[in-house]
């Protein structure tokens, strides 16, 4: 699958998990095993804060894949804003679908466009590698946390692993991923991906 298709799978899978959060779970503390595996702000303490962070990350996607700079969009456009509001599931779903629509409208040539991120310029293709992996692992982690099915789409698992394997040592060296976690020889493809990323499978 191409990078935009993998992103759509990951973003929609994360949204499917978010839609299963019970009203009494938004205040759940984020356990250490998620915080250690996370590349997000380590000060994240509740599930709602974590999902709001993802809403913020997702709301930038249409502008980033269009090649707009942060200055053009406005660096403070959503800074400090509660993007989830009184209808967190509905708000998150609307943000995801807006991002998905922008991604599905891309052409193959658009993948070579420059995405101008806060920490540097990358091709849109490289940007997808980062944000697809981010959503894939978070969908799994949140599903485990709230006690729902944590299975990821097989096509997504295979696509993310194909992206990850050639670069995993370099990304580990800069602290993006923890050391590999050994898994049994007969482990599922999903568990092998989790182990590769330094996560302990918790199905």
The three-state (H, E, C) secondary structure of the chain, written as one string: CCHHHHHHHHHHHHHHHHCCCCHHHCCCECCHHHHHHCCCCCCCCEHHHHHHHHHHHHHCHHHHHCCCCHHHHCCCCCCCCCCCCCCHHHHHHHHHHHHHHHHHCCCHHHHHCEEEECCEEEEHHHHHHHHHHHHHHHHHHHHHHHCCCCCCCHHHHHHHHHHHHHHHHHHHHCCCCCCCCCCCCCCCHHHHHHHHCCCCCCC
Q: pTM value?
A: 0.91
Per-10-residue mean pLDDT of the chain, 203 residues long, equals: 95 98 95 66 75 93 90 78 94 98 96 88 92 95 97 98 93 88 96 95 80
Show the domains of the chain with their CATH numbers.
3-147 (1.20.120.450)
Tell me what pLDDT residue 27 has.
Answer: 95
Tell me what pLDDT residue 39 has.
Answer: 47
């Amino acid at each position: 699958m191409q990078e935009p298709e993998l992103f759509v799978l990951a973003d929609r899978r994360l949204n499917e998990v978010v839609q299963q959060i019970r009203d009494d779970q938004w205040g759940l503390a984020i356990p250490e095993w998620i915080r250690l595996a996370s590349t997000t702000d380590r000060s994240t303490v509740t599930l709602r804060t974590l999902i709001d962070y993802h809403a913020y990350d997702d709301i930038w996607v249409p502008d980033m894949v269009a090649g707009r700079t942060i200055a053009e969009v406005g660096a403070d456009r959503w800074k400090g804003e509660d993007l989830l509001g009184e209808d967190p599931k509905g708000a998150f779903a609307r943000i995801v679908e807006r991002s998905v629509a922008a991604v599905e409208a891309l052409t193959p040539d658009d993948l070579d466009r420059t995405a101008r991120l806060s920490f540097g310029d990358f091709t849109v293709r490289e940007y997808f590698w980062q944000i697809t992996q981010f959503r894939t692992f978070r969908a799994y982690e949140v599903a485990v946390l709230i006690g729902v099915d944590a299975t990821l789409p097989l096509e997504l698992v295979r696509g993310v692993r194909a992206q990850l394997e050639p670069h995993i040592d370099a990304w580990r060296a800069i602290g993006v991923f923890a050391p590999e976690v050994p898994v049994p020889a007969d482990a599922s493809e999903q568990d092998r991906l989790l182990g590769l990323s330094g996560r302990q499978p918790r199905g």
